[in-house]
Amino acid sequence: MNTLAIIGGTGRVGQQVIKQALELGYQLNVLARNPKKVTEHKLIRVIKGDATDPEALDKLLTGADAIVSTLGPSGINHSIKLAKSSAKEFGSTKSTQAILPLMNKHNISRLILMGGASLQHPDDENNLFMRLLLNKLAPKVLGDIYLDREQELRILLNSQVNFTIARAAKLDDAETTKPLKTSHKKFQGGNVSIHSLAAFLLEQVKSNNYFGKAVYIAN
């Protein structure tokens, strides 16, 4: 797999994904509403457009071997209120709905996404306390942010694509020497470095360990 389609590349995690992907030698198709926010590079082809626009996504997937999406509600870095307002549009769900038929058109089977720790997957085996915290309290606090991700997962579970979702709680900008803990069944902790998260997302491009899984990750 030599070319990756990147969605959400101008965000905190997306920028780190691009940086690490270039270091690994990938060619990148990067979708951006504002192309000026994407650093110019000989290995980057920028496609202007929105993550829910089929025409822009069609151009994005042309020549790509896999998709890495760090799409999330805008404003999430500033306040939960802004993020909840943005999530009312159900951007993640609409993006995935638009992507799936195009993946078939372009013969792409691998989709790696970022999601929240409150997202529930049928494989989960958390204890009672964590179930109450993640599956009862968090959805009430997150509102449409949670509902958007939950609906997106239902669509993916009913699809034929090889998807993997990285479930992260609090994101840290600093690098860390702490090892990354992963599990598709049990919550692993509250904090994860964006550097470790980006590395995990890119590792999944050539791994089949977590096909169809939503993986809790933490440092």
% of the chain residues with pLDDT over 90: 85
Residue 78 has a pLDDT of 54
Residue 144 has a pLDDT of 87
- pLDDT digit string, tens, across residues 60-76: 999 999 999 999 876 56
Nearest Cα to Cα of residue 166 among 142, 136, 198, 195: 198
pTM, two decimal places = 0.94
Cα 110 to Cα 176: distance, rounded to the nearest angstrom: 28
Cα 38 to Cα 124: distance, rounded to the nearest angstrom: 37
- pLDDT digit string, tens, across residues 157-185: 999 999 999 999 999 999 999 999 999 99
Residue 88 has a pLDDT of 79
Cα 37 to Cα 75: distance, rounded to the nearest angstrom: 16
Nearest Cα to Cα of residue 184 among 170, 204, 155: 204
- pLDDT digit string, tens, across residues 5-62: 999 999 999 999 999 999 999 999 999 999 999 999 999 999 999 999 999 999 999 9
Residues 139-151 have a mean pLDDT of 90
Please state the φ and ψ torsions of residue 9, each to the nearest 5 degrees. Answer: -70, -10
- Domains of the chain, first to last: 3-218 (3.40.50.720)
Residue 76 has a pLDDT of 60
Residue 82 has a pLDDT of 73
Q: Angle at the Cα of 34 (from 33 to 40), degrees rounded to 5?
A: 120
Nearest Cα to Cα of residue 64 among 23, 20, 112: 112
- In a 10 Å sphere around its CB, with 0-12 CB exposed, 13-18 middle and 19+ buried, how is residue 198 labelled? buried
